[in-house]
Structure 1
Amino acid sequence: MEATEAAQTAQDTATGGADPAPEPAPAPVDAPRRRTGRTVALIAVAAVLGIVGGTAVGYGIQAQREPTALPALNQPDLVHPAKPLPGGQEPEPLSMAQDRGLKTEGDLRKLLPAKPAGAKKAEWLPDDGWLSVAAYADSFERPSEAFDYLLRSDVRRIAATGWRTGRYKTTEINLVQFRGGGGLSASEHADYQRRYLTDDSGYGNPIKGSAEGRTYLMPVHREEGYLDSYQARAIFHRGDVMVEIFVTDTKKISQKEITSLAERQLERL
């Protein structure tokens, strides 16, 4: 008992005889968080001033130094004539075998095959052989999305030809040329189309002479009240040109026919 009273007397002496401070009440759950104090702001300002001051001192020291001479801009291994070469000594221009772009830089329509004897020109294609981007996009399932995609892909031009053989059989060939640069290349566009076809007709058959080219025999399409519809397709690219070939008929189309068309077009490119 005496020890307890002594402890209480000592506590009163330390607190000046006042009652001890009450425990702080717990903050409510919805209490707003305190904003970052001035200490952090001052530290940030001091750091910025230190960086600026150090940079200024560094520039001052550098400005007082003598400029360092740059090395001579000579390239002894670079051979270039100071003036045009005399007549007869100019280098021979690259052949088409060495520069594949020479073929596709001209009239792209000339690289399309001629329609077979007896076939009628496709009435659904323009007479001048040039297909607009809008008309090409209209053949996709979602034309507006396809149009936007083609513009972003940096399409340069589209040459097209086609013909009708008999009453129902049609053939169409499109040469879709890209500018390159930052847009999608012809190989990527061809790859996207092949992925779509693979879902419906397997992996296709390779085209001889083409690294990634394939031909496809699509499953027959049947609809009540209509004749059966068969389609064969070929997708490949050469340089900056992507090639699409469509053959549609009410009868089965042979693998030999679509392969022959693809190989002929590939040779022309």
Structure 2
Amino acid sequence: MIAGAAVLGVVAGSCVGYVIQADREPTKLPSLSQPVLAQAKGPGPEPLSAAQDRRVKTEGDLRKLLLTKPTGTKEADWIGDGWLDIAAYANEFTDPGEKFTDLVGDEFRRSAVVGWEVGSSYNVEIRLVQYRQEDSMAALDSSLIHQGWAEEETATDSWSIPGTGDGMAYVHTRPDIEPGYLPQYTAEAHAWRGDVSMEVWIYGTKSITKKMIMDLAERQMERL
């Protein structure tokens, strides 16, 4: 009997609660709509000029972003019209077939090149390689791969290229020597900006200084 009375008490209390709640005025909910914000008056921001918009630069003639041949040097005869198509660029590597396949996967777009000869001592070649970059950061990847290859060589000095984040310059101090040929020294620099990777190469029969490779790399990156 006691247990039954307790249950009836709980039920009665619940019923009273429902009755009280039903007699109350419904609580108004906040409006789902938001107030309309007034639009700022006055002209919008000025669009970037062509000089400030890097995208405008790289969408034009890529060859115009390359350093120009210095006075007193001879233009390299292998340069042609300044463009390297995908096959010609792949041919610069030890395994052109494999590199060609990689470039297709990396969404290669185009490559521009300039080069010159400094007397009989040095040859300089600079390449700008552009990628579509719809699915990957191919310009960055290309730069890092080149850096990895450069760092694998023994007797190599390296320096960061100022203003590039992760760009690097290298001087290989031990020349390649083959019977019947003069010693061949090499220096290189690799960096990237946006969808363009930069490659700077110096080959010479004399040793190559840090100043030579760094000067070219810094000035070329400034043009990007």
TM-score tier after normalising by the smaller chain length? 0.7 to 0.9
Deviation, 1:79, is: 6.1
CA distance in 2, matches of 1:78, 1:231: 63
- Report Cα offsets for 1:31-73 as digits up to 9, x if no partner: xxxxxxxxxxxxxxxxxxxxxxxxxxxxxxxxxxxxxxxxx99
Look up the equivalent residue of 1:246 and give its one-letter code: W
CA distance in 1, matches of 2:127, 2:159: 20
Task: Give the equivalent residue in structure 2 for 1:141.
Answer: 94
Matching of residue 250 in structure 1 with residue 205 in structure 2: yes
Task: Give the equivalent residue in structure 2 for 1:25.
Answer: none
Structure 1 239/77 Cα, relative in aligned 2: closer, same or farther at 3 Å? farther
Deviation, 1:100, is: 2.4
Q: Secondary structure at the match of 1:118?
A: coil
CA contact (8 A) 1:174 1:243 kept: yes
CA contact (8 A) 1:205 1:216 kept: yes
Task: Give the equivalent residue in structure 2 for 1:36.
Answer: none
Task: Give the equivalent residue in structure 2 for 1:190.
Answer: 143
Look up the equivalent residue of 1:151 and give its one-letter code: V
Q: Secondary structure at the match of 2:175?
A: coil
Look up the equivalent residue of 1:232 and give its one-letter code: A
Structure 1 96/250 Cα, relative in aligned 2: closer, same or farther at 3 Å? same
Matching of residue 94 in structure 1 with residue 51 in structure 2: no
Residue identity over aligned pairs, in percent, reads 42
- Report Cα offsets for 1:53-112 as digits up to 9, x if no partner: xxxxxxxxxxxxxxxxxxx999956969xxxx9xxx464212457642222121111111
Alignment RMSD (CA, Å)? 2.6
Task: Give the equivalent residue in structure 2 for 1:112.
Answer: 66
Which of the residues 184, 194, 217 maps onto 1:239?
194
Deviation, 1:183, is: 3.8
Rg larger for: 1
Greater length-normalized contact order (CA 8 Å, ≥ 6 residues apart): 2
CA contact (8 A) 1:154 1:184 kept: no
- Write the mapping of 1:42-191 to structure 2, written as runs, cut at 5 A: 89=43, 91-95=45-49, 99-126=53-80, 128-191=81-144
Matching of residue 262 in structure 1 with residue 208 in structure 2: no
**TM score, norm. by length of structure 2:** 0.77
- Write the mapping of 1:11-26 to structure 2, written as runs, cut at 5 A: none
CA distance in 2, matches of 1:110, 1:151: 25
- Report Cα offsets for 1:236-257 as digits up to 9, x if no partner: 1111110000010101011111
CA contact (8 A) 1:230 1:252 kept: yes
Q: How many residues align?
A: 191
Tell me, which stretches of 5 or more residues in structure 1 are unaligned? 1-71
Which of the residues 151, 161, 167 maps onto 1:213?
167
Structure 1 152/91 Cα, relative in aligned 2: closer, same or farther at 3 Å? same
Q: Secondary structure at the match of 1:113?
A: coil
Look up the equivalent residue of 2:179 and give its one-letter code: E
CA contact (8 A) 2:157 2:171 kept: no
**TM score, norm. by length of structure 1:** 0.65
CA distance in 2, matches of 1:90, 1:151: 41
Tell me, which stretches of 5 or more residues in structure 2 are unaligned? 1-31
Task: Give the equivalent residue in structure 2 for 1:69.
Answer: none
CA contact (8 A) 2:169 2:190 kept: yes
